[in-house]
Amino acid sequence: MKSFRKLGKNLGVLAVASLVFAGLLALVPLSTSRAGQKGNEAKGKFYFKQTCKSCHIKGEKGGEVTPLNKTQAQWQSYFAKGKHMKGTEPLTKYMTPEQLNDALTFLYNHAVDSPQPETCGK
Amino acid sequence: MNRRGFLKMATGGAVGAALLQTEACRVPLQQQKAAKDVVPRLEIPTTCDMCVNKCSMIAIVEKGVLKKLNPNPENPKSKGMLCARGNAGIQQLYDTARIKHPMIRTGERGEGKWKVVGWDEALDFAAQKLSAIKEKYGPQGTLWSSSASFQEVFFRNLSQAFGSPNSVRHPTLCLASVNLAYSVTFGTVPSFDVQNARYIIMSGANRLESFITPDTMDLIDSTTERKARLIYLDPRFTKTAAKADEWYPIKPGTDLAFILAMLNVIISENRYNKEFVSTYCSGFEQLAEHVKQYTPDWAAEETQIPAKDIFRIAREFSDAAPRAIYYAGRRSSWSRDDFSMRRGQAILNAIVGNWDRQGGMVPNAKVELGELMFLPWDDPVAPRVDELDKNFPLAAKGDGVYLKLRENVLAGQPYPVKAWMIYKQDPMSAIPEQEKTLQMLRQMDFVGVIDIQMSDTAWYADVILPESTYLERLDPVEMLGGIRPVVLYRQPVVKPLHDTKPAFEIVQGLAKRLNLSQYFDYTMEQWIAEQVKPLPMDLPLDYMKKHGVYSPPQYPKYGSTLSPDHRFVTKSGKIELLSERLREAGYDPLPVYHQPSQVPEGKFRLVLGRHAFFTHASTSNNPWLNSFSPENALWIHPKPADSLGITDASLVEVASGVGSVRLKARVTPKIRTDCVFMQHGYGKRSPWLRLANSGGSDAQLIETAWDTVSGGAALHETFVKVRKV
């Protein structure tokens, strides 16, 4: 919880972060063929939920976004192009390149065409 | 208590619950302090943990003593039912053989010498051992095993925070081949709408004998009340066979031949659902070409099921579609080709168009839960010891592959693993070839076990950290997806009877000593509060405390994925009859039949099963349950029995390539002449267990073999010799 609170302070205005999410991505070129497999998925889920999901949920202005919205290739392309809100605001205000890489890893690994066999008891 | 009395009590539970269903007297434990003097009888809604089904129930508590467990009719999944096993949960709480205190081993491993210690000493001991091994071998030198539990998440989080890549769960001893086959084909594992099906085929899924749940009752309902037809394939005449319309004692390991021949008939006679296949499936042309070779005449030779019956069953199945299902079953792998057999089932279901239809297969609906978020740990540096990516590239990453893992640990490859933490699991009983598991335990520098009873594995541990039972603890909320999804709440109905702790507190205690507290710096109440936030009521936590279960009223819903623009979670976005992902990984993209190994002269194929009294090892020590079946027996057909001089109840020795056991014979014509059968869960080593040295342990006999794609333990690949003692 302490780390969570600390991070929350660091993240600042989470509500607007998702609006500029891909803007940063446009400014932070990622090695897309590898980036989706090399980040920290668990941390990526955390950054995605804390940042993107503040707006991108059902009923909110951003519309619902989940990893299943895109294929793996589409997530890679999306991150590389950074067309979110036309890339008008850099996300470096809110996320480091490493955090973005983690977020991409999470989205890539859970994309709509990703191999994700279900399991027992979970 | 005799059998009749017990079943009467279990059946009466539903009536009792209805009579006692007055919400005013349902009081959560948190309020009991104030209320106990005023309300001597409490009804506390909570969730069963006697098997995987997690039925809702109501605990009747008088003056702090649990008197009765009744079904909770508010749960549409458990449907006002609490089975005999669920009723016997009361004995898990009051069992005198429970582990009552933390203990540290003082003698040799397996010698049974322990000293009772306080929690600080036990946790200090465990943390020091783990730290020392981390220092010497790295975090990858530790292995963390667990089974499904509402609190399993904390144990797994500790293993990851510790930095170990080596957590291994139970699925490769369970449904790994089914899960992977359906995930590859549909992108998900659906539920089977047994209640509304009109034609059901089961390959060895012994639902009327091995596992009595509300699904079982649905099956009884559909086959008796609604006159659904049940076709049952099993080398043994089980209770399910007795209730089936047709039983075929299929030659073990040939189920895929039967399925492929059904596909052959349905496709060659244009009986498949053309519109569904063209809209939602990919790879049909290749499938049609592929199954041309698998004719019913060929399959009859393989399976010993007459070709005319295969023709007829295929036609009846397609005629009954979409209310026709080839039921996936609930058990581990049988053969090295088990995944292919499950894929065949999935494909057969797909081409008759039973997907997302009433009486067919239904993708699981879900209820969104919240999540307490915190910044997680760094990824482990080392690869997994079971080399999952290399050996089983499509297997579920977080589950691991148990048998391959054991092989590598014993070989010290690719690196040494010297500590084993185990939660709610008994590898000594659950994993084939027990002697190897024992070797693995013995080569560990440290073994720590979290359990409620002295399992065979706990018997060889260095420290035992006793967990509170499911009736004594507050658990995270759990969502169970399904045709009718539910959210479940488990709250304590009595205070812990002994010096035990919930797994969450044990994990917190270890985390504190391992300098990992930052990942566990919250309370269970905070965790739950975040989980229930999205539920659609004003005071969701109060609702869950009061009702114990929430189920959205809009279910069941059929057809939500039946739109041409729906994208399945597969590589192509379609239902993949031919799997590109399998091809990429080097496997057959369509199910290919391989003839099973033939039974050697003078031997039998060992087939295994469960019965409804036990849920594997976790409930076999329950005195109410094991009194019905205190020992197992070896089923053997009269013909081979006669030639071996074996009579009913005579003591026999059963020997495989890896071990031998002794148990009584049951001479019966209800099994093929080339097979013998025994029930799982007997012949325990731990003297603290009631089934110690009672009957024979299948784990001592089964040889190491696994399904090549999922890694699931292949349980029917062992041949045994039998002799009268």
Spell out the domain ranges in chain B.
3-94, 103-170+368-488+497-550, 191-362+560-584, 604-724
Burial of B467 (0-12, 13-18, 19+ CB in 10 A): buried
Residue A116 domain-assigned?
A: no
Say how many domains are in chain A: 1
Residue B366 has pLDDT above 80, yes or no: yes
Candidate ranges A4-13, B76-85, B305-314, B615-624; pick with highest mean pLDDT? B305-314
Roughly what angle, to the nearest 10 degrees, separates helices B296-303 and B307-320?
A: 110
Is 70 exceeded by the pLDDT of residue B649? Answer: yes
Print the domain residue range for A102: 9-109
At residue A63 the predicted structure's pLDDT band, cuts being 50, 70 and 90, is confident
pLDDT at B9: 41
Tokens describing residue B462: 């260095």
Q: What are phi and psi of B317, to 5 degrees?
A: -60, -50
Name the residue of chain B whose CA is nearest to A120's CA: B171
Whether residues A120 and B518 touch (CB distance < 8 A) is answered with no
Q: B518 and A49: CB-CB below 8 Å?
A: no
Per-residue pLDDT, averaged over B558-585, amounts to: 95
pLDDT at A55: 80
Q: Which residues of B touch A117 (CB under 8 A)?
A: 179-180, 183-184, 394-396
Alpha-carbon gap: B361 to the closest alpha carbon of chain A (Å): 16
| Dihedral sign from CA coordinates of A23, A24, A29, A32 | negative
A121 has pLDDT over 70: no
Residue B17 pLDDT greater than 50, yes or no: no
Give a yes or no: residue A115 inside a domain.
no
Report the share of chain B in percent with pLDDT over 70.
95
The better pLDDT of the pair B484, B331 is held by B484
Write the DSSP string, B169-193: -SGGGTTHHHHHHHHHHHSS--EE-
Instruction: Write down the pLDDT at residue A90.
Output: 64
Q: Is the pLDDT of residue A21 over 80?
A: no
Residue B62, phi-psi category: left (phi > 0), alpha (psi -120 to 50), beta (remainder): beta
Tell me the CA distances in angstroms from B466 to B24, B270, B478, one per residue in order: 35, 60, 23
Return d(Cα B370, Cα B476) in angstroms, integer. 11
- DSSP-based three-state secondary structure for B158: helix
Distance of residue B250 Cα from the nearest chain A Cα, in angstroms? 28
Rounded to a whole number, what is the distance in Å from the CA of B397 to chain A's nearest CA? 9
pLDDT band at B39 (very low <50, low <70, confident <90, very high): low
Q: Calculate the CA B618 to chain-centre distance.
A: 11
Q: Kindly state whether residue A72 falls inside one of the protein's structural domains.
A: yes
Contact (CB, 8 A) for B253 and B707: no
**Is the CATH code 3.40.50.2300 the one for domain B3-94?**
no
Instruction: Output the CA angle B193-B195-B197, nearest 5 degrees.
Output: 65
Q: Which tops the pLDDT comparison, B330 or B53?
A: B53
Please list every residue in chain B whose beta carbon sits closer than 8 Å to the beta carbon of residue A7.
375
Q: Is residue A36 part of a domain?
A: yes
- Alpha-carbon distance B402 to nearest alpha carbon in chain A (angstroms): 14
Cα–Cα distance for residue pair B209/B182, rounded to 1 Å? 25
CB pairs under 8 A between A and B: 87
A120–B169 CB contact, under 8 Å: yes
The Cα–Cα gap between B524 and B159 comes to: 19
Q: What backbone phi and psi angles, to 5 degrees, belong to B653?
A: -105, 130
pLDDT tens digits for B263-301?
Answer: 999 999 999 999 999 999 999 999 999 999 999 999 999
Closest CA to B696 of B688, B684, B704: B684
Do A116 and B569 lie within an 8 Å CB cutoff? yes
The string of pLDDT tens digits covering residues B447-459 is: 999 999 999 999 9
Average pLDDT (B648-671) is 98
Residue B486: its H or E element: strand B486-488
Contact yes or no for B569 and A40 at CB 8 A: no
**Which one is the CATH code of B103-170+368-488+497-550: 1.10.357.140, 3.40.50.740, 3.40.605.10, 3.40.50.300?**
3.40.50.740
Q: What angle do CA B549, B551, B556 make, to 5 degrees?
A: 150
CATH assignment, B191-362+560-584: 3.40.228.10
Task: Read off the pLDDT of residues B585-639 as tens digits, 9 standing for 90 and up.
Answer: 999 999 999 999 999 999 999 999 988 888 777 788 899 998 888 999 999 999 9
Contact B109, B464 (CB under 8 A): no
- Of B42, B34, B354, B84, which is closest to residue B192 (Cα–Cα)? B354
pLDDT value, residue A76: 86
Which pLDDT score is estimated for A91? 62
CB contact under 8 A, A2 and B375: no
Residues of B in contact with A101 (CB under 8 A): none
> Is the Cβ pair A121, B52 closer than 8 Å?
yes
pLDDT at A2: 43
Q: Which of B180, B188, B368, B569 to mutate to test the interface with A (most CBs of A within 10 A)?
A: B569
Mean pLDDT over B110-122 rounds to 97
- Confidence category of residue A82, pLDDT binned at 50, 70, 90: low
Report the candidate in A25, A27, A26, A53 with the shortest Cα–Cα distance to residue A39.
A25
Interface with chain A: mutation pick from B145, B375, B479, B581, highest number of A CBs within 10 Å: B375
Mean pLDDT of chain B: 92
Residue A31 has pLDDT above 70, yes or no: no
Lowest mean pLDDT: which of B306-320, B571-585, B609-623? Answer: B609-623
Regarding predicted confidence, which is higher, A33 or B89? B89
Q: Which of B527, B539, B562, B666 is nearest to B236 (CA)?
A: B666
CB neighbourhood size of A87 (10 A): 17
The fold of B604-724 is: Barwin-like endoglucanases (2.40.40)
Alpha helices in B283-337 (DSSP H): 284-290, 296-303, 307-320
pLDDT of residue B619: 84
- Asked which of A22-26, B96-100, B317-321, B402-406 is least confident by mean pLDDT, the reply is A22-26
Which band of pLDDT confidence, cut at 50, 70 and 90, is reported for residue B555? very high
| Lowest-confidence pick of A55-64, B170-179, B239-248, B597-606 | A55-64
Q: Which of A21-35, A49-63, B150-164, B668-682 has the lowest mean pLDDT?
A: A21-35
Contacts of A10 in chain B (CB under 8 A): none
The per-residue pLDDT for B337 is 95
**pLDDT tens-digit map of B186-230:** 999 999 999 999 999 999 988 888 888 877 888 888 887 778 999
